[in-house]
Amino acid sequence: MNPTDPSDHHKRVILLAWATSMGADPQEVLTVADHPGSGPHRFPVLSDHADSKIASVIRIYNITFIYGPSWFLQAANEIDDEILALESTLIRLGASHGARSLGETTLYYAEDPPEISGSDAVAISEDREFITELEARCPSDDVGAAGLSQTGQTFAVVSDQDPGNLQVVAGSGYEEWASLIADLTVLVDPDFRGHGLGTYAVAVAAEEAFMAGLIPQWRAAMGHRAAQRMADAMGFQLSGSQTTLKIEATESHAG
């Protein structure tokens, strides 16, 4: 993976958001970011009791955040960052602790608003009833993965060719991270997939995020080519990866 080099300001804002979210020292993270010639740098962060069921490795630019309980941080010490970030590595480390993978994702960010071509066939609505209607027509696995109705901001793509019978065909939304990042998501009606409506919906959410002073973030599951093509189509920059475990066993029952 070869992340695209963003502007210094853009990079600092993204790293500040991650440092804040992970509980790392923001100033120390930014100091390392300002000296990329120093090579990759690790920031291990011990999870608190309320979040002890999560272990995660985030590689972003020249920074690696390693978050989790003490046994996970200790196990990660002797493993190279590139190997540690692999889903297979985390599964192996967490096997005796009842851990299961929540997946490996690639992280993309937009430095400029995406270009959106107007459409006479659809309109955008912020009425959440459309999102409820959309989720009812989509497979439950897709609904759960998108988590659209749980986001703070949502945008429904509605077909208005028949004004008397408006039909939602796709929806997007975002959740704010550290008041700096807009984590985007999208959901498309199965009957309307393959027509670019998902890309259009995400582009709308990204534009709204920029207007709110946020940097749009797109997370694509590793190997999910459609999601990765969507990022490319919108001009998002590949910037890192995130791999996460959910730990089912308690510390006292771990081997």
Do residues 45 and 78 share a domain? yes
Which residues face 122 on adjacent strands?
159
**pLDDT above 90 for 166:** no
Q: Which two tokens stand for residue 17?
A: 């958001």
pLDDT 10s digits, 209-242: 999 999 999 999 998 888 999 999 999 999 999 9
Do residues 200 and 246 share a domain? no
Do residues 88 and 133 share a domain? no
Q: Which of 13-17, 182-186, 201-205, 223-227 has the lowest mean pLDDT?
A: 223-227
Q: How many CB atoms lie within 10 A of CB 183?
A: 20
What does the pLDDT average to over 40-61?
A: 88
| Domain-located, residue 47 | yes
Nearest to 215 by CA among 188, 237, 186, 199: 237
In angstroms, rounded to a whole number, what is the distance separating the alpha carbons of residues 13 and 139? 36
**pLDDT above 90 for 203:** yes
Do residues 93 and 136 share a domain? no
Do residues 202 and 246 share a domain? no
CA dihedral 130, 146, 106, 228 (to 10 degrees): -50
188 is in which domain, residue-wise? 122-218+230-234
Task: Assign 3-class secondary structure to 112-148.
Answer: CCCCCCCCCCEEEECCHHHHHHHHHCCCHHHHHHHCH
Do residues 247 and 206 share a domain? no
| Domain-located, residue 16 | yes
The pLDDT of residue 253 is 44
**pLDDT above 60 for 1:** no
* Residue showing tokens 């430095």: 111
Do residues 167 and 212 share a domain? yes
In angstroms, rounded to a whole number, what is the distance separating the alpha carbons of residues 130 and 244? 32
| Domain-located, residue 84 | yes
Do residues 167 and 200 share a domain? yes
Do residues 173 and 100 share a domain? no
Do residues 197 and 126 share a domain? yes
CATH of the domain at 167: 3.40.630.30
| Domain-located, residue 2 | no
Do residues 153 and 203 share a domain? yes
| Domain-located, residue 30 | yes
| Domain-located, residue 225 | no
The pLDDT of residue 227 is 92
The pLDDT of residue 38 is 65
Question: Could you give the number of structural domains in the chain?
Answer: 2
What does the pLDDT average to over 201-216?
A: 97
pLDDT 10s digits, 80-123: 999 999 999 999 999 999 999 999 999 999 999 988 877 778 99
| Domain-located, residue 114 | no
| Domain-located, residue 175 | yes
Do residues 63 and 128 share a domain? no
